């Protein structure tokens, strides 16, 4: 496995400086978080292209782009808002084409819905599948594979497998967010990895204490990281060990967090 890191760490800083720091620290693979870019509604393709060129000049390869802040739920009950969410994702995919990513990651539908009612849960699954069908085809036409993230307090990989089951295995997969699964309780990230199996496209790596979504450096929370790495090897995962850390119990300095995260990942993967 290769080690990568999300630019989310530099979401409230200068993205050009952040990319330079990541390159200096020794990262090769990155995930571009859309929150670090001009909003897709602004249509500022020129600025995004400049960021992409700079990343490439530093030897950084954009493995994926992550669209974490879609303004509307693509699995919500309001069809008009679902349409707005899908259109936002499509516009942002177009904005991110300059990075030439292999994957585009989105959150599952129903993120803000009450899923305790079985009938409503089935509706949310159906609405989400309809949205994902359009987004997956749009991504494919632009040379990207689509990954659905385990997100929020609901990280049921079986439900996400149901969402992606109508689509080709090599085009639509699962992004297991290790920290989100641990925070959700009863959703062990080791189980999530094994359940995702061959549909596992990527992982987000960060730690917590099974409470707040802390996004700590691996080893600073309570996740069983040796177990996580074993599970990844068991399912034959060959993707990027993508760090999504933006906090540390040792420092608030962004560059130091990136360095500590890289060292922690190297230690885990070499064991």
For 48-65, write each residue's pLDDT tens digit.
999 999 999 999 999 999
Q: Do the beta carbons of residue 178 and residue 206 sit within 8 Å?
A: yes
How far from chain centre, in Å, is Cα 164?
16
> Please, what is the average pLDDT of the chain?
94
Is residue 256 very low, low, confident or very high in pLDDT (cuts 50, 70, 90)? very high
Exposure string (b/e) for 199-238, b if CB count within 10 Å is 16 or more?
bbbbbbbbbbeeeebbbbbbbbbebebeebbebbeeeebe
The pLDDT of residue 152: 64
Q: Do the beta carbons of residue 189 and residue 156 sit within 8 Å?
A: no
Model confidence pLDDT, tens digit, residues 183-226? 876 568 999 999 999 999 999 999 999 888 899 999 999 999 99
The pLDDT of residue 69: 86
**Which helix or strand (DSSP H or E) is residue 151 part of?**
none
Q: Do the beta carbons of residue 77 and residue 113 sit within 8 Å?
A: yes
Distances 219 to 200, 206, 216, 228, 263 between C-alpha atoms, Å: 23, 9, 8, 12, 11
Distances 45 to 50, 52, 136, 148 between C-alpha atoms, Å: 9, 10, 22, 25
Distance of alpha carbon 67 from alpha carbon 34, whole angstroms:
5
Residue with tokens 């979504």: 213
The pLDDT of residue 217: 98
- Please check the confidence at residue 233 and state whether its pLDDT lies above 90: yes
Token digits of residue 118? 């079985």
């Amino acid at each position: 496995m290769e080690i990568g890191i999300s630019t989310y760490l530099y979401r409230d800083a200068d993205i050009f400086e952040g990319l330079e720091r990541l390159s200096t620290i020794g990262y090769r693979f990155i995930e571009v978080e859309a929150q670090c870019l001009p909003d897709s509604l602004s249509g500022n393709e020129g600025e995004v292209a400049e960021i992409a060129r700079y990343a490439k000049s530093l030897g950084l390869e954009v493995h994926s782009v992550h669209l974490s802040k879609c303004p509307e739920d693509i699995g919500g009950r309001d069809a008009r808002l679902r349409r707005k969410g899908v259109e936002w994702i499509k516009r942002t995919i177009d904005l991110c084409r300059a990075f030439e990513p292999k994957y585009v990651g989105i959150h599952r539908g129903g993120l803000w819905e009450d899923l305790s009612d079985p009938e409503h849960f089935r509706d949310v699954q159906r609405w989400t599948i309809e949205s994902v069908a359009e987004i997956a085809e749009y991504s494919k036409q632009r040379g990207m594979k689509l990954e659905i993230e385990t997100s929020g307090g609901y990280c049921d990989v079986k439900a996400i497998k149901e969402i992606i089951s109508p689509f080709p295995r090599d085009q639509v997969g699962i992004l297991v967010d290790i920290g989100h699964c641990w925070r959700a309780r009863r959703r062990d990230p080791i189980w999530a990895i094994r359940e995702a199996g061959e549909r596992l496209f990527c992982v987000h790596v960060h730690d917590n204490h099974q409470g707040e979504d802390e996004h700590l450096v691996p080893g600073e929370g309570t996740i069983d990281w040796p177990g996580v790495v074993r599970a990844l090897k068991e399912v034959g995962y060959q993707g990027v060990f993508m760090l999504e850390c933006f906090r540390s119990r040792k420092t608030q300095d962004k560059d130091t967090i990136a360095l500590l995260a890289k060292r922690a990942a190297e230690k885990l993967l070499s064991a």
